[in-house]
Chains A and B, each alone.
Chain A
Amino acid sequence: AQSVTQLGSHVSVSEGALVLLRCNYSSSVPPYLFWYVQYPNQGLQLLLKYTSAATLVKGINGFEAEFKKSETSFHLTKPSAHMSDAAEYFCAVTFNDYKLSFGAGTTVTVRA
């Protein structure tokens, strides 16, 4: 069965430091992969998605993610954290049935 695992339920970074959020998927066929962000009491907003056109995907707000088939990973990074990046981040996977399966989420806090 398809699934996605996010390593670390909470990440704390200093303002200006690197943000690294980990996501691994389990699948025997290539999946479609997404990263979403959620601010408190709001819906989810798409950050970026893997389209298979390129392994390095750039998204909104300075985030990017790299698809590594050999490691079955799709980690999310941002070189320099900003206070506005404090939110919960979800990795999601889907296959040909279009249903999204979500990871448990990673909460990011940014220290001044």
Chain B
Amino acid sequence: DGGITQSPKYLFRKEGQNVTLSCEQNLNHDAMYWYRQDPGQGLRLIYYSQIVNDFQKGDIAEGYSVSREKKESFPLTVTSAQKNPTAFYLCASSTQTENTEAFFGQGTRLTVV
């Protein structure tokens, strides 16, 4: 079945450690996105990529890093520089045609203690 897979579903890390969240898609989509979700704030864009080996900062990129070495994969690293990393992280992908919707993974809940 085609879709987006995020792993792990739950992740616990100690403060000061970097952590990488996985996102893989087999939809053959060119564009991929990372969003952060906090209660009452909707979804905020962290990074996005429209083509392999290229990506752009979103609205809240500070403290995060990404790579896009393969079309299917767009991992997100939450670095120790991110001041408040505990959140629900959602990965999405889409084609790049007008009026196209984004398809979402099931999310990773990161808790930093």
Contact = CB atoms under 8 A, between A and B. Distances in A.
Contact of A90 (B42, B98, B100, B103): B42
Nearest to A9: B40
Nearest to B35: A102
A51 B99 contact: yes
23 contacts: A34-B101, A41-B88, A41-B107, A42-B106, A43-B104, A43-B105, A44-B92, A44-B104, A46-B101, A46-B103, A49-B99, A51-B99, A52-B99, A98-B31, A98-B50, A98-B94, A99-B48, A100-B33, A100-B43, A100-B92, A102-B44, A103-B42, A105-B42
Contacts of A105: 40, 42
A12 interface: no
Interface in A12-30: none
* 9 A-B pairs closest in CB distance: A43-B104, A102-B42, A102-B43, A104-B42, A44-B104, A32-B99, A43-B106, A46-B101, A105-B42
Contact of A98 (B41, B100, B103): B100
Interface string A1-18: 000000001000000000
Interface size class of B (residues with CB under 8 A): 20 to 34
A100 to B, nearest CB: 6
A98 B96 contact: yes
B107 A43 contact: yes
Nearest to A45: B104
Mostly, the A contact residues are: loop
A41 B100 CA distance: 24
B28 to A, nearest CB: 16
